[in-house]
Amino acid sequence: MSDYPEFDPTNENIINREVIEPEATPDIRSLARRVALQVLYQLDSAQHPIEEVLRYYLIVDDFSGKIIEIDPEIAAMISGTVRQLDLDNPIAQRIHHYHQVFDATTGLARDTQNDAALRVYRLIKYLEAEPHILRLSHGVVASRERLDVILQTYAPEFPINQVAIVDRNVLRLALYEIGIEAQTPTSVAIDEAVNLAQLFGAEGSPRFVNGVLGNIFMHLDEVRLMLQADDLAQ
């Protein structure tokens, strides 16, 4: 009898490619994990280059530094590209409206019931999350092979290439945080991974993810030594 919960590794739950909008008061790192998971899913399922996938999900273009693929007026306001506009200019009027409902100094919406305020607030939070999205996405991709070795070691009943794409990337993301970066408290990383599995995975995904990471937690010192030894060998 296996210690792991029942789980069908062939059940491919399809993830939405559209970026999930955070709640009115999102945690930046939680938002970053959500988006990073979507990036990793696309890389795993479509085999596109990472920079191509990241450009689909990120707001700031790495090459030009400009904010892209959002409301042009908001982009102009935040990018500082608007210089002198006539007061009766429609863009100037909308920017004035955004400034009325959003306090850029505190980073808080003055009126959280106002749609414009919420849009700007969410955009600011997304921009704050982008460095974490980049760090997690690149980190997992660079470490994927050795992460998979660890996962296969501590979940031998399920060949990693047969586990649902969502679940194996949730596991990779959590293992990268607790095993390589080791900056996030382990309990937080595991809770976040279970939440991601609930959001994006199949019915049995949260229990499966929790079971595998719980087993890794029981051997965390050994796991970190294995990953560090792999670092030294490279």
Q: Which CATH number covers residue 71?
A: 1.10.940.10
Please tell me the total count of domains within the chain: 1
Q: Is residue 157 part of a domain?
A: yes
CA–CA separation, 109 vs 86, rounded Å?
Answer: 26
Examine the pLDDT at 41 and tell me if it is beyond 70.
yes
For range 188-192, the mean pLDDT = 96
Examine the pLDDT at 165 and tell me if it is beyond 80.
yes
Range scoring the smallest mean pLDDT among 11-15, 65-69, 110-114, 212-216: 11-15
Q: Is residue 91 part of a domain?
A: yes
pLDDT at 10: 40
Percent of the chain with pLDDT over 70: 59
pLDDT at 12: 43
Domain that holds residue 93: 28-233
Q: Is residue 16 part of a domain?
A: no
Examine the pLDDT at 197 and tell me if it is beyond 50.
yes
pLDDT at 232: 46
Q: Is residue 22 part of a domain?
A: no
Residue 217 — pLDDT band, cuts 50, 70, 90?
Answer: very high
pLDDT at 16: 38
**Which of the listed ranges 68-77, 113-122, 209-218 does the model predict with the highest average pLDDT?**
209-218
> How does strand 102-103 pair with strand 108-109?
antiparallel
* Sequence-separated (6 or more) residues with CB below 8 Å from residue 74: 98, 119, 120, 123
Q: Is residue 154 part of a domain?
A: yes
pLDDT at 56: 79
0.85 cut: is pTM over it? no
Q: Is residue 160 part of a domain?
A: yes
Range scoring the smallest mean pLDDT among 18-27, 72-81, 128-137: 18-27
* 55 CB-contact burial (10 Å; exposed 0-12 / middle 13-18 / buried 19+): middle
Q: Is residue 42 part of a domain?
A: yes
| Average of per-residue pLDDT values in the chain | 76
Side chain identity, residue 178: I
Phi then psi for residue 71, to 5 deg, are -50, 120
Q: Is residue 55 part of a domain?
A: yes
